[in-house]
Structure 1
Amino acid sequence: MIPAKVLIIDDDRDVLETARMFLKQEFATIHIEETPEKLPVLLKQTEYDAILLDMNFTKGVNDGEEGFHWLNLILKTDPQAVVILITAYGEVDLAVKAIKNGATDFVLKPWKNQKLMATILAAIQLRKSKKEVEKLKETQEKLSDDLNYSYSDFIGESPAIQRVRELIARVASADADVLILGENGTGKELVARAIHRQSSRSDQVFMNVDLGAISETLFESELFGHVKGAFTDARQNKAGRFEIASGGTLFLDEIGNLSLPLQAKLLTVLQHRTIQRVGSAKDIPVDFRLICATNMPLHEMVFEKKFRQDLLYRINTVEIRVPSLRERTEDIPLLAEHFLARYGQKYKRPGMKIDKAVMSKLKKYHWPGNIRELQHAIERAVILNESKVIESVDLLINSTTLHIPKEQTQTPQTLDEMEKKFIQQSLANNQGNVSTTAKALGLTRTALYRRMKRHGI
């Protein structure tokens, strides 16, 4: 017994009974009705998997207009409904016209049971597919809303962050390629998502690709896709990130990590806006808004022949630099209160506050991990603090990293020199453990390794 509900509407009682007697052997629920005027009530009470509808209900009338009327009513009530028309031999042209107007299929009277069964089964499968697509769309919209909530608008009123907001508002509607520069943890993805939300593509996909996490061997397969049999593990066709992003926004994070050969492949795609899946010679057009981001000095890398100049020109029609937290210390109280409210709700500790003296010290701290480090510090403090007021700065920041060494206060140094000494000190405090040090600094292992390499540590 197939768990489906089928409705049959025909003014001929014999037709209805014949259909009911046959179909009740196969389907869980069969409803029959002679008067189509009851359709509104029936559709309100029950959601049918397939509806069989006669074309004519008035004796002597065979123009099919009644069928068109009730078909439109069904589809208006339930846009996902699948309607099979019941027609006579002379009404095939009308049935074809009705299919153009939204009907799914038609069966001829008198029908063959095997043909009727096959038609209804196909209609039920179509209904199921429509509902799955609708559910996927709703899920995508919900996930997108959740992500937009997580990456909500900027917190802060500093002049530096106001300038970023103004740039976003200007470039969002232009559909131009954007390059976002800034240190780790400053909110580069936040900027990218804000541009997407304010663009004409906001109702389409936002595809985030972390280029630093994709190996060279998987680059083409991940970004361009592949066809079945292209390589050992290619058991089925797979669309790449570029193809999936078509129509929406493609965000390439950590673009500075790409090797020169991969930069050349990326440039080719951006120039022609077509891709070829691995194992295929077919060109697939792609149309996406490109946003790239990196914490690396691309302009210096061009001078050092580590990044292609033509690729840089291609990706930075507009360039947005996101300020570090050191450059917007006046925003630290607002950010801290924001994260305090979020994690107070998450861990069921509402109403928590930060002591004024502690907040003052937070504003003096240099925050190498930027907003991400501040966020993790607040979360840790909410979990560990026993009272409603956070009175110890040690809960927020490792006390050994809070104070700048005396020699740094006596001799002026560049920011790079200070960062180098800070990383060395942090590594020493963590017995040289890179993972622990990266976590304490609010950085990824890859980001810390890059900084260590740059400073020769």
Structure 2
Amino acid sequence: MKHSGSLLIVDDNPDILIAARLLLKQHYQSVKTTDNPFDIAGIINEQRKLEQPIDVILLDMNFTQDSISGKEGFYWLKKIIEQDANIVVLLMTAYGDIQLAVDAIKAGASDFIAKPWQNEQLLGAVTAAFSHAKDKQQVGKLTRQKQGLNQALNTPNFEFLGQSNAMQQVFSTIEKAAQTDANILITGESGTGKELTAHAIHQASMRHSQTFMSLDMGAVAQNLFESELFGHKKGAFTDAKADHIGKFELAQGGSLFLDELGNLPLEHQAKLLAALQNRQITPVGSSKAVDIDIRLICATNDNLDQAVSEGRFRQDLLYRINTVEIRLPALRERSDGIPLLANYYLKHFAQKYKRSLTISDDDMSALCQYAWPGNVRELAHAIERAVILTEGDKLDISSVVGNSASVSTDEKTQSTEVLNNVAQYDTFDLDILEQRTVRAALKHHQGNVSHAAKALGLTRGAMYRRLEKYGL
């Protein structure tokens, strides 16, 4: 039975090519030959396109007549390694010596074969080279997986908390749905905790010991959508310097969370739908489909039913992703849960910044009356700012809710009412306010979009939409 794998023999002597091919063809499925080393790069690329990448190259060291230095072999060895470091190279020459063999190994060759060879010796060296190639490929794959999985190891900074009736219903739905493999759609305003909900679903599911992989669709460039989700093969496009494993494969056996799904263009919606229906993906630049086994969790702050009616979102994809829908209530709809959250964040950030702080009942009341348009994310950032700016041992929330920390209870109520009245401004006024806020955040963070978005309690995708909206 022949071994799988592809071998390329490069030698300017036709007799050597014939003899080596006849011997090795008996043992390996694919044996290519060429008498011109300038063909090597093209053959490597062609075999990669055919999904039969070259694993081992048997390379002569001398191609110019009367040349015995081996310099040509070292030159082409370097070129091969630069093109694909996973290929294992065996060098061969009729003018071998110990020093040349040592130099060949140092230069990156797997072994050194002297001509004429003993068939058993050549077979042994080639067998060892294929084994080495398999090990290198596996290490390369694991390295790429590790790079991708670093994201999965970044567990949420905060716990998923809530004590209101609305949140108890959310927890009940999570408990029921998590035990199945049903696709779940999480909806709600920005900052309500959609990613924390996705993590909670994964942790409560039968896949909890496997990978949780997330991707913010609002932050993915359109031309990289397929690469990010499905992966790509080396050379598939200009910047594809190495194979890339997509999020579907990285999440194999676990959960894949697609945030900001409403941002997905229609053309990409069709590709995502096909992958979900067929349970298969095909990396960019490959013709070989890969079976997938993932639990899909999606999230959006968009109204997808309205998007369907407006032609912005495919109805068949919506049916596919929302077997179970979980709506997260805005913080203003569950203000009775604010004390639990505020105290949790106060404890978290007080420990982070090595502070010992408490919050007064009046100040807690002011926090509960504020509308929190940025929801839980805004509350967390507000408490963090207050912890940093407070000078005494009582949390000063004046930087969070107007000047409420230094006024009477009645004045705090009035201040809160003013803040809540922001929601009554007309659209033009709100746009001006939002534009000024975004511009100020960018200026403060010296143009760093990620830092500005974090300070405003926005996702990067939401921040980029505002930059485009206001021409910033």
Alignment TM class, shorter chain as reference:
0.5 to 0.7
Deviations 1:147-181 (A, max 9, x none): 16x343x3221001100000000000111000000
Q: One-letter code of the match for 1:442? A: G
C-alpha distance 398-438 of structure 1, shift in aligned 2 (>3 A): farther
Report deviation, 1:377.
0.8
Q: Distance in 2 between matches of 1:138 and 1:219?
A: 21
**Match of residue 388, structure 1, among 382, 390, 393:** 393
Deviations 1:120-171 (A, max 9, x none): 9x999999999999999999999967616x343x322100110000000000
How does 1:247-258 map onto structure 2 within 5 Å?
247-258=253-264
Secondary structure of the corresponding residue to residue 231 of structure 1? coil
Q: Does 1:294 align with 2:300?
A: yes
Which residue does the alignment assign to 2:462? 447
Which residue does the alignment assign to 2:430? 423
Report deviation, 1:243.
1.2
Q: Distance in 1 between matches of 2:183 and 2:303?
A: 18
C-alpha distance 332-293 of structure 1, shift in aligned 2 (>3 A): same
Q: One-letter code of the match for 1:155? A: L
Q: Does 1:229 align with 2:244?
A: no
Q: Does 1:147 align with 2:147?
A: no
8 Å contact kept, 1:222–1:240: yes
Report deviation, 1:452.
9.7
8 Å contact kept, 2:401–2:416: no
Tell me how many residue pairs correspond in the alignment.
334
Q: One-letter code of the match for 1:384? A: L
Which residue does the alignment assign to 2:358? 353
8 Å contact kept, 2:149–2:213: no
Deviations 1:55-81 (A, max 9, x none): xxxxxxxxxxxxxxxxxxxxxxxxxxx
**Match of residue 370, structure 1, among 346, 370, 375:** 375
Q: Distance in 2 between matches of 1:254 and 1:309?
A: 17
TM-score scaled by structure 1? 0.62
C-alpha distance 403-448 of structure 1, shift in aligned 2 (>3 A): farther
Q: Does 1:322 align with 2:328?
A: yes
Q: Distance in 2 between matches of 1:235 and 1:142?
A: 20
Which residue does the alignment assign to 2:348? 342
Report deviation, 1:443.
2.5
Q: Does 1:159 align with 2:174?
A: no
Q: Distance in 2 between matches of 1:272 and 1:174?
A: 19
Q: Does 1:203 align with 2:202?
A: no
8 Å contact kept, 1:427–1:433: no
Q: One-letter code of the match for 1:162? A: Q
Which residue does the alignment assign to 1:97? none
Q: Distance in 2 between matches of 1:124 and 1:369?
A: 55
Q: Give unpaired runs (5+ residues) of structure 1.
A: 1-118, 410-414
Deviations 1:68-98 (A, max 9, x none): xxxxxxxxxxxxxxxxxxxxxxxxxxxxxxx
Which residue does the alignment assign to 1:182? 188
Deviations 1:202-243 (A, max 9, x none): 111001011111111111111111112111222222211111
Q: One-letter code of the match for 2:224? A: L
Q: Distance in 2 between matches of 1:285 and 1:254?
A: 25
Secondary structure of the corresponding residue to residue 327 of structure 1? helix
8 Å contact kept, 1:176–1:289: yes
C-alpha distance 142-178 of structure 1, shift in aligned 2 (>3 A): same
C-alpha distance 187-303 of structure 1, shift in aligned 2 (>3 A): same
C-alpha distance 334-296 of structure 1, shift in aligned 2 (>3 A): same
How does 1:59-70 map onto structure 2 within 5 Å?
none
Q: Does 1:214 align with 2:220?
A: yes
Percent identity among equivalent residues? Answer: 47
Deviations 1:366-387 (A, max 9, x none): 1011111111111111111111
Q: One-letter code of the match for 1:393? A: I
Secondary structure of the corresponding residue to residue 394 of structure 1? coil
Which residue does the alignment assign to 1:16? none
Q: Distance in 2 between matches of 1:189 and 1:286?
A: 22
Deviations 1:359-411 (A, max 9, x none): 11111111011111111111111111111102x432223559964559959xx
Deviations 1:313-354 (A, max 9, x none): 0000000001111011011111111011111111111x3111
TM-score scaled by structure 2? 0.61
**Match of residue 379, structure 1, among 369, 380, 384:** 384
Report deviation, 1:431.
9.1
Deviations 1:166-205 (A, max 9, x none): 0000000111000000111110011111110111111110
Secondary structure of the corresponding residue to residue 239 of structure 1? coil
C-alpha distance 144-438 of structure 1, shift in aligned 2 (>3 A): closer
Q: Distance in 1 between matches of 2:334 and 2:220?
A: 33
**Match of residue 401, structure 2, among 397, 403, 412:** 397
8 Å contact kept, 1:263–1:311: yes
Q: One-letter code of the match for 1:177? A: N
Report deviation, 1:355.
1.8
Q: Give unpaired runs (5+ residues) of structure 2.
A: 1-126, 405-413, 444-451
Q: One-letter code of the match for 1:272? A: N
C-alpha distance 449-203 of structure 1, shift in aligned 2 (>3 A): closer
Deviations 1:27-63 (A, max 9, x none): xxxxxxxxxxxxxxxxxxxxxxxxxxxxxxxxxxxxx
8 Å contact kept, 1:368–1:441: no
Report deviation, 1:308.
0.5
8 Å contact kept, 2:219–2:460: no
C-alpha distance 170-261 of structure 1, shift in aligned 2 (>3 A): same
Report deviation, 1:356.
1.7
Q: Distance in 2 between matches of 1:346 and 1:178?
A: 34
**Match of residue 338, structure 2, among 332, 335, 351:** 332
Q: Distance in 2 between matches of 1:215 and 1:138?
A: 23
C-alpha distance 142-337 of structure 1, shift in aligned 2 (>3 A): farther
Q: Distance in 2 between matches of 1:447 and 1:212?
A: 7
Q: One-letter code of the match for 2:167? A: I
8 Å contact kept, 1:178–1:318: yes
Which residue does the alignment assign to 2:271? 265
Deviations 1:259-289 (A, max 9, x none): 1111111111111011111111111111100
C-alpha distance 144-209 of structure 1, shift in aligned 2 (>3 A): closer
Q: Distance in 2 between matches of 1:305 and 1:332?
A: 38
